[in-house]
């Protein structure tokens, strides 16, 4: 059983978070997800609905897989030194670190992407790149896997990335079965990025 620490903050993107968690959640004997935030109160998404918090960053200092969504709130959180410090510390211990959309800006500011290839939402690409120009940003990629870090493009790309992580950990057949259960057409080619242009 692997624990997924799913970080949320004010203004996170709903599908960035719950798309991947839906995929991992179809394997309850393999993954246990915990919603993490800096405080105990429910956190409002970019779209408005609030999500309950399972545990705070003060009380959860490690997890097997870390998931960092994007959303409008990343523009504020890139200046949140306490949160960035937590991301850096947890990432150093995690088996796999994942970001969706502009969540890669938080990983970049936390120095998790130093010396790595990464991608992000194409509509926010230039802004994210400005957060860490030393990162090898891939403009055309559905997701990028470098070492133990996965970064994915905009919003729905997080679902494709999470299935790639499942494939790495549990095999291609399991990932394909999860996609079938979800009635989801998995884009399993990280270079097939129809939104890059």
Question: Catalytic residues, which ones?
Answer: 101
Residue 71 contacts residue 12 (beta carbons within 8 Å): yes
State the Cα–Cα distance between residues 91 and 40, nearest whole angstrom: 22
* Secondary structure string (H, E, C) spanning the chain: CEEEEEECCCCECHHHHHHHHHHHHCCCCCEEEEEEECCCCCEEECCCCEECCCEECCCCCCCCEEEECCCCCHHHHCCCHHHHHHHHHHHHHCCEEEEECCHHHHHHHCCCCCCCEECCCHHHHHHHHHHCCCCEECCCCCEEEECCEEEECCCCHHHHHHHHHHHHHHCHHHHHHHHHHCCCCCCCCCCCCCCCC
């Amino acid at each position: 059983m692997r624990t997924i620490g799913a970080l949320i903050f004010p203004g996170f993107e709903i599908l960035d978070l719950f798309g991947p968690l839906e995929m991992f959640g179809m394997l309850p004997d393999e993954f246990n997800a915990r919603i993490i935030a800096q405080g105990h109160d429910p956190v409002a998404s970019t779209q408005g609905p609030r999500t309950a918090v399972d545990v705070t960053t003060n009380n959860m200092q490690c997890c097997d897989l870390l998931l960092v969504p994007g959303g409008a709130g990343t523009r504020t959180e890139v200046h949140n030194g306490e949160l960035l410090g937590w991301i850096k510390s947890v990432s150093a211990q995690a088996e796999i670190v994942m970001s969706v959309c502009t969540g890669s800006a938080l990983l970049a500011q936390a120095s998790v992407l130093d010396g790595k290839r990464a991608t992000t939402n194409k509509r926010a690409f230039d802004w994210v790149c400005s957060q860490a120009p030393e990162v090898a940003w891939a403009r055309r990629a559905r997701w990028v896997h470098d070492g133990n870090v996965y970064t994915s493009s905009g919003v729905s790309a997080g679902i494709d990335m999470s299935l790639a992580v499942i494939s790495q950990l549990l095999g291609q057949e399991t990932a394909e079965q999860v996609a079938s259960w979800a009635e989801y057409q998995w884009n399993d080619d990280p270079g097939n990025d129809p939104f890059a242009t």
